[in-house]
């Protein structure tokens, strides 16, 4: 797209929005608060760097597809992520999983990892001026094969995972300290069962005890923020997931943790957007895993759809941008992986920009006056206001390509780099 064209469209959009009492420049200023944490695991299909042939194995999640060009090591991941970030306006962070350490030739088991294994990433993040987030990896491991980790009745298994997660929090706090921005450490575990269990209570009690032990070590809030992520079901945990929404919502509220809402982890007709104003009455902060569920499956590439829009709208309407950490969570190996990132991250940004451009004052007046037809009419009108002209201008101001111009850039990277792998 040509700059002159972007500018002309923006000027018109600005006038149109002004008629509805919306200041587009102000909305763009607010976009500075929208930092997307890019999940590192779309680069390599959640394989990790523990062994040369590491691959996602178990845990109720699955990657399908064999599109060429996946990253095979940390330097390829870094190269790919830099391409992604160069195609995105605004600031990003990187969200690492514990299996992505720089482990060298020797195998390091999960209960042995230390900050030194992540120093390569920390130095890289420092160089780029970005923050890091972190996740314990409680799947793809022989000790998670029977489907239980932090809630295992096998005490040696449970101790192994407690040690792993404790170490992960220390590493995350070191990341936060070294980079001057708190790292969010998120705990998601695959624990659950395929068929109906009779002792749900014991597993949930064990999970609570494990978490209490893990969180007993305190870190300054400027270094570390703790989040817990629930799930409805996974592959092989269809009948019961130990860390359900009820479980973690209570845990987070009682223990002042962030609750992570992954919108692929709820019943298909449940709206995560609707939950935000409830949850924010009881917890200080939220972590989002923005994703796209399709039928029974989650983790498709995020798009600018009703679900992502409602999530962003409800955060903006609650005036809670500063209380929400935005992460992405999808893994698709059936298309260009860099393309997947750029589409998903742009969709998240667009959802927030769209929400910031909502003619809220006008709609609220109608709502408070009981004028429901007028409210719906304005919401419908707002759907079609030229938000994309504002997004393109946001790209231009940040010196990144606008419109669909990223397609060509990614195709070029594919030809010159990805297909040579």
Q: How far apart are CA 336 and CA 353, in angstroms?
A: 26
61 makes contact, choosing from ligand RNT, Zn ion, none, with CB < 5 to 8 Å by partner type, with: ligand RNT
The CB-of-261 to ligand RNT minimum distance in angstroms stands at 10
- Of 50, 262, 332, 414, the active-site residue reads 262
**CA-closest candidate to residue 37, choices 155, 131, 125, 145:** 131
| 195 tagged catalytic | no
Q: How far apart are CA 181 and CA 393, in angstroms?
A: 28
| 262 tagged catalytic | yes
| 289 tagged catalytic | yes
The CB-of-60 to ligand RNT minimum distance in angstroms stands at 7
Q: How far apart are CA 79 and CA 104, in angstroms?
A: 19
Under a CB-based contact definition with an 8 Å cutoff, are residues 387 and 304 in contact? Answer: no
Q: State the number of binding residues for Zn ion (CB under 5 A).
A: 3
Dmax (CA) of the chain? 68
Bridge partner list, 289: 262, 327
Told to check if 257 binds Zn ion by CB under 5 A, we report no
Distances (CA, A) of 16 to 3, 333, 383: 20, 41, 13
307 makes contact, choosing from Zn ion, ligand RNT, none, with CB < 5 to 8 Å by partner type, with: none
Strand pairing class (240-241; 192-193): antiparallel
Q: Which position among 80, 329, 332, 414 is part of the footprint of Zn ion (CB under 5 A)?
A: 329
| 229 tagged catalytic | yes
- Of 143, 225, 265, 300, the active-site residue reads 265
Q: How far apart are CA 286 and CA 276, in angstroms?
A: 8
- Of 109, 297, 306, 361, the active-site residue reads 297
- Of 143, 164, 185, 289, the active-site residue reads 289
Nearest residue to ligand RNT, by Cβ distance, number only = 188
- At 240 the three-state DSSP class reads strand
The CB-of-100 to ligand RNT minimum distance in angstroms stands at 11
| 274 tagged catalytic | no
The CB-of-128 to Zn ion minimum distance in angstroms stands at 24
| 185 tagged catalytic | no
Helix axis angle for 74-86 and 119-128, nearest 10°, is 20
46 makes contact, choosing from Zn ion, ligand RNT, none, with CB < 5 to 8 Å by partner type, with: ligand RNT
Q: How far apart are CA 299 and CA 290, in angstroms?
A: 9
| 297 tagged catalytic | yes
Under a CB-based contact definition with an 8 Å cutoff, are residues 185 and 224 in contact? Answer: yes
The CB-of-25 to ligand RNT minimum distance in angstroms stands at 36
Which residue, 177 or 265, has its beta carbon nearer to Zn ion? 265
Q: Which position among 93, 170, 177, 289 is part of the footprint of Zn ion (CB under 5 A)?
A: 289
135 makes contact, choosing from ligand RNT, Zn ion, none, with CB < 5 to 8 Å by partner type, with: ligand RNT
Taking the alpha carbons of 60, 46, 331, 318 in that order, is the dihedral positive or negative? positive
Cα 166 to chain centroid, rounded: 22
**CA-closest candidate to residue 230, choices 259, 270, 254, 269:** 259
Binding site for ligand RNT (CB under 6 A): 41, 46, 61, 135, 188, 229, 231, 262, 289, 329
- Of 41, 121, 124, 188, the active-site residue reads 188
The CB-of-64 to ligand RNT minimum distance in angstroms stands at 14
Q: For the residues of 191-214, what is the DSSP string, one character each? A: -EESS--S-HHHHHHHHHHHHHHH
How many Cβ atoms sit within 10 Å of the Cβ of residue 387?
23
Which residue, 87 or 287, has its beta carbon nearer to ligand RNT? 287
Which residue, 158 or 289, has its beta carbon nearer to Zn ion? 289
41 makes contact, choosing from Zn ion, ligand RNT, none, with CB < 5 to 8 Å by partner type, with: ligand RNT
Told to check if 133 binds Zn ion by CB under 5 A, we report no
* Residue the block writes with tokens 């160069």: 86
Kindly state the tokens that stand for 45.
């299909």
The CB-of-41 to ligand RNT minimum distance in angstroms stands at 5
- For the chain, helix (H) and strand (E) counts, in that order, are 14, 12
Q: How far apart are CA 198 and CA 241, in angstroms?
A: 13
Which residue, 44 or 329, has its beta carbon nearer to ligand RNT? 329
The CB-of-95 to ligand RNT minimum distance in angstroms stands at 9
User: Which residues are designated catalytic?
Assistant: 188, 229, 231, 262, 265, 289, 297, 299, 329
Q: Using CB under 5 A as the criterion, which residues of the chain lie in contact with Zn ion when the complex forms?
A: 262, 289, 329
């Amino acid at each position: 797209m040509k700059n002159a064209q972007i500018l002309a469209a923006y000027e018109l959009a600005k006038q149109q929005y002004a008629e509805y009492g919306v200041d587009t420049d102000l909305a763009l200023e607010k976009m500075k608060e929208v930092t997307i944490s890019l999940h590192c695991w779309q680069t390599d299909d959640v394989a990790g760097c523990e062994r040369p042939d590491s691959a996602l194995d178990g845990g109720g999640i699955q990657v399908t597809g064999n599109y060429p060009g996946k990253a095979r090591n940390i330097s390829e991941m870094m190269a790919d992520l830099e391409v992604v970030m160069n195609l995105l306006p605004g600031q990003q962070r990187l969200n690492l999983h514990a299996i992505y350490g720089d482990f060298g030739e020797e195998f390091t088991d999960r209960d042995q990892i230390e900050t030194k294994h992540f120093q390569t990433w920390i130095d890289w993040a420092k160089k780029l001026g970005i923050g890091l987030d972190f996740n314990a990896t409680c799947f793809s491991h022989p000790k998670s094969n029977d489907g239980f980790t932090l809630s295992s009745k096998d005490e040696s298994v449970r101790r192994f995972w407690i040690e792993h997660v404790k170490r992960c929090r220390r590493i995350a706090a070191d990341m936060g300290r070294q980079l001057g921005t708190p790292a969010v450490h998120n705990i998601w575990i695959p624990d659950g069962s395929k068929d109906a269990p009779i002792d749900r209570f014991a597993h949930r009690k064990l999970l609570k005890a494990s978490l209490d032990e893990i969180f007993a070590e305190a870190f300054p809030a400027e270094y570390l923020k703790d989040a817990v992520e629930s799930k409805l079901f996974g592959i092989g945990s269809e009948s019961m997931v130990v860390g359900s929404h009820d479980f973690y919502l209570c845990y987070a509220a009682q223990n002042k943790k962030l609750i992570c809402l992954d919108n692929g982890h709820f019943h298909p007709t449940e709206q995560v957007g609707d939950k935000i104003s409830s949850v924010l009455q009881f917890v200080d902060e939220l972590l989002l895993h923005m994703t796209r569920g399709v039928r029974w499956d989650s983790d498709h590439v995020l798009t600018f759809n009703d679900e992502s829009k409602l999530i962003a709208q409800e955060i903006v309407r609650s005036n809670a941008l500063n209380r929400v950490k935005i992460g992405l969570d999808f893994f698709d190996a059936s298309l260009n992986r860099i393309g997947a990132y750029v589409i998903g991250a742009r969709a998240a940004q667009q959802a927030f920009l769209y929400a910031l451009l909502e003619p809220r004052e006008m709609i609220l007046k109608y709502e408070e006056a009981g004028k429901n037809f007028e409210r719906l009419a304005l919401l419908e009108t707002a759907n079609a206001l030229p938000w994309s002209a504002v997004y393109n201008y946001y790209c231009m101001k940040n010196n990144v390509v606008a419109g669909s111009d990223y397609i060509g850039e990614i195709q070029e990277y594919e030809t010159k780099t990805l297909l040579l792998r």
